[in-house]
Amino acid sequence: MTGFDPELLLAETGALLRGHFKLSSGRHSDVYVQKFRLFENPAPTQLCGHALAARFEGGFDVVASPAMGALVLGWATALAAGTRSVFTERVDGRMAFRRGFRLDPGERVLVVEDVVTTGGSAREVVDLVSAAGAVPVGVGALVDRSEPGSPPSLGVPLEALARLEAASWDAASCPQCRSGAPLEDPGSRRLP
């Protein structure tokens, strides 16, 4: 994996955006990762999947990802490792395994997430894995953009391919809102 630079891949594919954005957590930021600009290209997605699999080499039997955002990266990671890939979906606002996906007791599961800010979705999947009797071994992510010095509480180690330090604010204290900058909401959770 010599020369692999995930931040360069994000920039080259147009996945790293600057402006005024509403994040899926509801917070506002001046930086947004539109990961599907990277994931729409198989070659860089495959590189990222190989890199994540290598970070947890031999330590997992299954990859579980929250849909929709991390589904492609989770599948690429499972392909690189030669394991199964399953995903969760929101049902009545909560993550759940559907479509006949199951985890066997004792299976070692790597949770693959796209972008970790607060870690909420990743933690929900970790909890589902544990509830199924499987063993969550870690969270692998494309980008960790959590607050510096305040890593999200995931219950397992987090390994991210890129660390992006980007400010975020709650809506009430957002300096860009106060300056009148238009707010973009590129996330998929609120699309019709």
34-44: per-residue pLDDT in tens? 999 999 999 99
Contact 66, 95 (CB under 8 A): yes
pTM of the model: 0.87
CA distance 87 to 74: 8
Asked if residue 101 lies in contact with residue 131, where contact means CB atoms within 8 angstroms, the answer is no
pLDDT value, residue 188: 56
Instruction: State the pLDDT at residue 190.
Output: 47
Closest by alpha carbon to 167, among 33, 71, 27, 14?
A: 27
Any idea which fold 6-178 has? Rossmann fold (3.40.50)
Residue in the structure block whose two tokens are 């997430």: 113
Q: Tell me the CA distances in angstroms from 48 to 55, 84, 157, 178, one per residue in order.
A: 11, 17, 18, 37
Which one-letter amino acid corresponds to residue 157? P
Peptide linkage before 68 cis (omega within 30 of 0): yes
| Helix, strand, coil shares, percent, the chain, to 5 | 30, 30, 40
Reference 81, options 102, 51, 111; nearest CA is 51
Residues of the chain with pLDDT under 50: 1-2, 190-192
Give helix 42-55 / helix 71-81 axis angle, nearest 10°.
60
Q: How far is it, in rounded angstroms, from Cα 163 to Cα 49? A: 16
What does pLDDT average to over the chain? Answer: 90
